[in-house]
Amino acid sequence: MVNTAPAVRRVLAVPALLAVFVFAGSPALAQMAGGEARVTAVEHQTAGDRILVVVHFDRPVRFVEGTAIDPYRIFFDLQATRPAESLAAKTAVGDPILRDIRVAQYQPGITRVVLDMGQAAPYLATFLADPPRLMVEISRTSGSAQTRLAAPPAPTSPASPDHPKAANPVAAPTAMASSTVARAQAANTIASADSKLSSRFGAGANGDFGALMKAAQRGEAKAQFQIGGLYMTGHGVTSDPAVAAAWYKAAAQQGLAIAASNLGVLYAEGLGVPQSDAEAANWFRKAADAGDAGGENNLGSMYLAGRGVAASDSLGAKWIVAAAEQGAPEAQYALGTLYANGRGVARDDEQAVKWLKAAAAQGYAPAQLLMGKLYAAGAGVPRDPVEAYCWFALAAASGDKEAAAAMNTLTPRLTSRQLVEAQQRALSIAKPRP
């Protein structure tokens, strides 16, 4: 059997405000996702320099992670779940690092697991598939503290597992630049050719690897594409871009557009094949002509950069528009930058914000960071520090260090109520990251 659903892992020296994850399981597992999952058990054990907390489920779940201070605690909001009736509401651990574990129905459809900490500590959160469980490994060794503030969750009733106090900044950050300077900085962040190649490596595959390989060898294009994805990402096999390229090519030659787009990325980046912009553009065009959004975005990017084709802003914009209208977030972000700069299209701030926000709402971190900058500066949108903090928080949850720093810079300008509002906005927008 081939496991094509890797564990979702996140290492935080000091936990960030917000991190949104989803377990990307197989289609068979996805079919089980109807209705609420159950939180069946919570276990803990102490061994040497670590404490391990394991939360068990009856199916994969999406979760939102965050922290609050005074007192310091880590919480996990488990989406579309309910705790089993036999689950204890509070478990005393009695360790100087981890004091208690609390579990309760925080809101309808959301179970909150709270780790009451004696002090901040580095930890690793991992979601494993079989059986479904969230593993939180807390280190007893001191980690380097980061000046990152965790805004409190929304105020709750006493019956809730958490009733946080107002948060204070961990350190005194530098004051935000003046509005005029910030506007200039925001404008400068919208690069004139901010368009990136997109790929869809590692497509899910179920069942026996041997059966999948036989189907690929029989000439079934989708099986060939899936085998290419496995070799590209090393899921169940040894990663080998050259073998991946061969299978992508076999599928692409049969007209499978997504395989052609992925093969073009390999040529553009020189992965498993000799680097060739001309070959990349050739395969991107085949995918784009077949209506594949990734191929359209990638071909547009090549025209904008003049790679493998004669540079053309108008043709670049044409293909980027086609991909953006199909919902490709990389293309939506690129189209926003084109409208902001009047490149290949007429300059239009309203359209720029529309497409940037569309990409940001899909969880595309570069667009989220840029939306935060625009709202912080009032560039193209009304100045709104709460909305800015919301978008910075979402980008920071994807690991964007610039966004995390911007959060700290903005924090002292917001009240506790505004911080709560910003987090609630972020939670309402947050998209799971596959």
What residue type is assigned to position 243 of the chain?
V
Exposure of 223 by Cβ count < 10 A (0-12 exposed, 13-18 middle, 19+ buried)?
buried
Domain boundaries, the chain: 8-139, 209-429
Q: Give the DSSP letter of residue 412.
A: G
Identify the CATH homologous superfamily for domain 209-429.
Answer: Tetratricopeptide repeat domain (1.25.40.10)
Q: Read off the pLDDT of each residue in 397-404 and give the average, rounded to a whole number.
A: 85
**Sheet holding 123-128: strands in order across?**
8-12, 123-128, 133-139, 50-57, 37-47, 81-83
Instruction: Return the H-helix or E-strand segment holding 359.
Output: helix 349-361
Confidence of residue 29 (pLDDT cuts 50, 70, 90): very low
Q: Mind listing the pLDDT tens digit for each residue in 287-320?
A: 999 999 999 999 999 999 899 999 999 999 999 9
Confidence of residue 222 (pLDDT cuts 50, 70, 90): very high
Q: Which residue has the higher pLDDT, 252 or 166?
A: 252
Q: How many whole angstroms separate alpha carbon 335 and alpha carbon 331?
A: 6
Give the lowest-confidence range in 48-62, 81-95, 153-167, 182-196. Answer: 153-167
Structure tokens at 109: 């459809």
Structure tokens at 294: 């990734």
Could you tell me which residues are beta bridge partners of residue 127?
8, 134
Mean pLDDT, the chain, whole residue set = 78
* Whether 65 contacts 73, CB under 8 Å: no
Q: Mind listing the pLDDT tens digit for each residue in 141-193?
A: 643 322 222 232 333 333 444 433 333 222 222 222 333 333 433 444 555 44
Q: Are strands 37-47 and 81-83 parallel, antiparallel or unpaired?
A: parallel
pLDDT at 69: 65
Confidence of residue 251 (pLDDT cuts 50, 70, 90): very high
What residue type is assigned to position 156 of the chain?
T
Q: Which residue has the higher pLDDT, 406 or 174?
A: 406
Q: Is 47 helix (H, G, I), strand (E, B) or coil?
A: strand
What are the φ/ψ torsions at residue 342 (nearest 5 degrees)?
65, 40
- Give the CATH number of domain 8-139: 2.60.40.3500
Q: Read off the pLDDT of each residue in 1-25 and give the average, rounded to a whole number.
A: 40
Q: Read off the pLDDT of each residue in 350-374 and give the average, rounded to a whole number.
A: 92
